[in-house]
Structure 1
């Protein structure tokens, strides 16, 4: 028996696939080692880089605390477009009902933009200034229902 018949009879196809896979994985491994060899040589020449790598700051240390400047308290009557503000405040109240008791301003602003509310930044600033939206001191905000009811009525 010779040729393709002999290959089929003695698992020649499986053996050739295994051989090609071994050669291919070896070449891939060799190329990865060669491509990263410069880093190993840099550590060989300057071992202090290892100490610098392990003594570097953790990623969570890189974040800075951001504070939000809440505008000075103002009365609802001081708002230029009072009727428009009352309508927008009602729309914001509907959005806040879909959220938890303590919510983030960025999430509320995102919902306001996707709901296509008029001037969401300015109106959110007015809600903060009139203290309808109050900071809880932990980075989240709450909705003051009593103040809202007084402002809208």
Structure 2
């Protein structure tokens, strides 16, 4: 009768056999992706010909210096002011009803159109014309909005 197996010997390939297997796998991969590799090599060649590859390589080698310059620029007062203004404007806009904002922007657009029509006519407006135009409901609405806008802005400036 045969003796029972008491130990299992695991086959461990040598370094040379591992390298040979890797080369075989690479050959198969190259054969399966010939078109992609060709396109990639053409792209790299074009990048090299135009100098982009060299520029990217130089940037990678100088990444610490570039990061230091970029951070220095971001810490300048004008840049921080812009960032703070954008954050403040975003906060204000987030508290305003989007429908009101859309209505206001559309009204401004219509107002610009009407203003351009007036500029093309080149008519002078007298004091009597101003008094008469206040009776126009559209003008009266806009003037009322402007007056109340200025009032609210004044209250906001007081705080």
Instruction: Name the TM tier (shorter chain).
Output: 0.3 to 0.5
Greater C-alpha Rg: 2
TM-score by length of 2: 0.31
TM-score by length of 1: 0.32
